[in-house]
Amino acid sequence: EKSLWQSCKGQKSTTKDFKDIDLAANIGSPDDIDGVIANDGDGIGLYRTEFLYMGRKSFPTEEEQYESYKTVLEKMGDKPVVVRTLDIGGDKELSYFDMPKELNPFLGNRALRLCLQNMDMFKTQLRALLRAANYGNLHIMFPMIATIEEFRKAKAVLQEVESDLETEQIPFSKNYQTGIMIEIPAAALLANVFAKEVDFFSIGTNDLIQYTFAADRMNEHVSYLYQPYNPSLLKLIQMVTEAAHKEGKWVGMCGEMAGENQALPLLIGLGLDELSMSAPSILKARYSLKQIDSIKAKGLADMALQSCTEEEVKLLIDAFWNEV
């Protein structure tokens, strides 16, 4: 089987009926790029920049960040690179950054919320990103967005950073896309509003499932509520792809679900344009993708959306795979 997957190297990622789907990689550092290239990823769908900030004694400087982003963008050439702005808080802490203890850290001051309240930290990252944008196909993505005002604030900061760099005559590029993660049900429900203002979405199922089912993703006692295939979650996903496509925007998925081979026909049927996963999963996904007819996948998704339980959806998926 492995050699079958390897034979997909250098080929395009398309369904049986030639619908293009980008199979991208999740990375945490520039060191991961070699693995992405070895596995022929179509891009980077999620660069988790928090790892740049973790395991050290002080904030990474603008220069350090610039070098990391530049390396990733250069190595990926003209392939899309989605860089997520700092996502700390929740379970991720920085020893050198004093974050008050919270009763509910996953519902607290994390990710973009924290960035908007620590403007120096946020602007430093955005400056490094815009400077690196000269070297590749940059997409900036904001995590943990709940409201359109949060997105507008983040965009306004980007504008400020652009004019600062202009004033200082520091080289940078305005040639980049701006998008958001869909991790909070409120944002999925209002995807039609966001779709008019963002360039793209990426669905973070790890958090979206946690917040949809109100079940801590780390707590084993409620892990039975971690249900990627539950029709409630599928409806949220469908709302996002439908709203995005109406405005001509693209939708990716970068949570664990995107790398589940079993889920592939369902995700194609729901209209995802890009799936981002760990690099070693990419070639297998490309091989599986070739077995899937996108019209049949749409039929599967329609039936899944009519289902009542996760179990029913899983049976539909099993039946789909038995027929290919």
Piece in contact with Mg ion (CB under 5 A), picked from 4-12, 182-190, 233-241, 266-274? 182-190
The correct pick among 80, 89, 204, 231 for binding ligand PEP (CB under 6 A) is 204
Q: Which is nearer to ligand PEP, 46 or 300 (CB)?
A: 46
Query: Is 31 labeled as ligand-binding?
Result: no
Q: Which is nearer to ligand PEP, 228 or 231 (CB)?
A: 228
Q: Which is nearer to ligand PEP, 114 or 254 (CB)?
A: 254
Q: Which is nearer to ligand PEP, 46 or 132 (CB)?
A: 46
Least separation in angstroms between residue 11's CB and ligand PEP is 26
The correct pick among 22, 42, 199, 207 for binding Mg ion (CB under 5 A) is 207
HSE, side-chain direction, 13 A CA sphere, residue 295 = 2
Q: Is 204 in the site for Mg ion (CB under 5 A)?
A: yes
Least separation in angstroms between residue 239's CB and ligand PEP is 17
Piece in contact with Mg ion (CB under 5 A), picked from 69-77, 96-104, 192-200, 202-210? 202-210
Least separation in angstroms between residue 233's CB and ligand PEP is 12
For residues 193 and 182, give the distance between their C-alpha atoms in angstroms, rounded to a whole number.
13
Q: Is 205 in the site for ligand PEP (CB under 6 A)?
A: yes
Least separation in angstroms between residue 207's CB and ligand PEP is 3
Query: Is 206 labeled as ligand-binding?
Result: yes
Short-list 64, 147, 151, CA closest to 115: 151
Q: Which is nearer to ligand PEP, 21 or 184 (CB)?
A: 184
Query: Is 127 labeled as ligand-binding?
Result: no
What does the H/E/C string look like for the chain?
CHHHHHCCCCCCCECCCCCECEEEEEECCHHHHHHHHHCCCCCEEEEECHHHHCCCCCCCCHHHHHHHHHHHHHHHCCCEEEEECCCCECCECCCCCCCCCCCCHHHCCCHHHHHHHCHHHHHHHHHHHHHHHHHCEEEEEECCCCCHHHHHHHHHHHHHHHHHHHHCCCCCCCCCEEEEEECCHHHHHCHHHHHCCCCEEEECHHHHHHHHCCCCCCCHHHHHHCCCCCHHHHHHHHHHHHHHHHCCCEEEECCHHHHCHHHHHHHHHCCCCEEEECHHHHHHHHHHHCCCCHHHHHHHHHHHHCCCCHHHHHHHHHHHHHHC
| DSSP bridge partners of 89 | 92
Q: Give me the catalytic one of 8, 115, 254, 308.
A: 254
Q: Is 183 in the site for ligand PEP (CB under 6 A)?
A: yes
Query: Is 183 labeled as ligand-binding?
Result: yes
254 assigned to active site = yes
The correct pick among 177, 206, 262, 307 for binding ligand PEP (CB under 6 A) is 206
| Segment 246 to 265, residues that bind ligand PEP, using CB under 6 A | 254-255
Long-range contacts of 92-98 (CB under 8 A, 24+ apart): 92/50, 92/54, 94/53, 94/54, 95/57, 96/56, 96/57, 96/58, 96/59, 97/59
Query: Is 207 labeled as ligand-binding?
Result: yes
Q: Which is nearer to Mg ion, 26 or 230 (CB)?
A: 26
| Binding site members | 48, 84, 183, 206-207, 217
| Binding site members for Mg(2+) | 183, 207
Positions touching ligand PEP (CB under 6 A) are: 46, 48, 87, 183, 204-207, 254-255
Positions touching Mg ion (CB under 5 A) are: 183, 204, 207
| Binding site members for phosphoenolpyruvate | 48, 84, 206-207, 217
Catalytic residue ranges: 254
